[in-house]
Every structure is written in C-alpha cells, then in structure tokens.
Amino acid sequence: MVLPDGPNQRWSLDFVSDALTDGRRFRILAVVDDFSRENLVLVADTSLSGHRVARELDKVTAERGMPKTIVSDNVLCAE
C-alpha cells in the first residue's frame, strides 16, 4: 500500500468494541486521516448500523471533501 503524501488521500476506518462493567456491549467507529493522523470521526454507541456509518461519513466528507481512498481491515456485518 502506497503511503499518502498529503491529507485527505487515505482514511482508515476501524471499529472497536468493548463492554461496560454491567455487561452492556458498545462499539466505537473511528476514522483517521492516514497522513496527518487526525481523528476525523469518533462515535460510540451500543449499535452502529451501516446506515449510521454512512451518515457519519457523509458528515465528515461534507466538511473535508472526499478522500481518495478509505481502507478498513474489518468486514462490516449486521449485529
């Protein structure tokens, strides 16, 4: 994979999940600009649907423009 040489060329999208002390699960969506390492999106919720992810990406692209590519190592699936 070619390293970006400027901002907005490649964003990384990742999900993290964990549980609260009472056992309730939650997920975090993180989107980072791979060049600047700036955190563009950080959303935590008990459920993150594909529609919610798309809405969050729409918000950030409205502010910053579209990146050249978005990469993720996760398979998006329904919970």
Q: What is the pTM of this model?
A: 0.85
For residue 27, give both structure tokens. Answer: 């997920």
pLDDT band at 78 (very low <50, low <70, confident <90, very high): very low
CA distances from 76 to 2, 14, 21, 43, 49 (A): 24, 10, 26, 16, 9
Task: Report the pLDDT averaged over residues 29-58.
Answer: 96
pLDDT (tens digit per residue) in 57-77 = 999 999 999 999 999 986 555
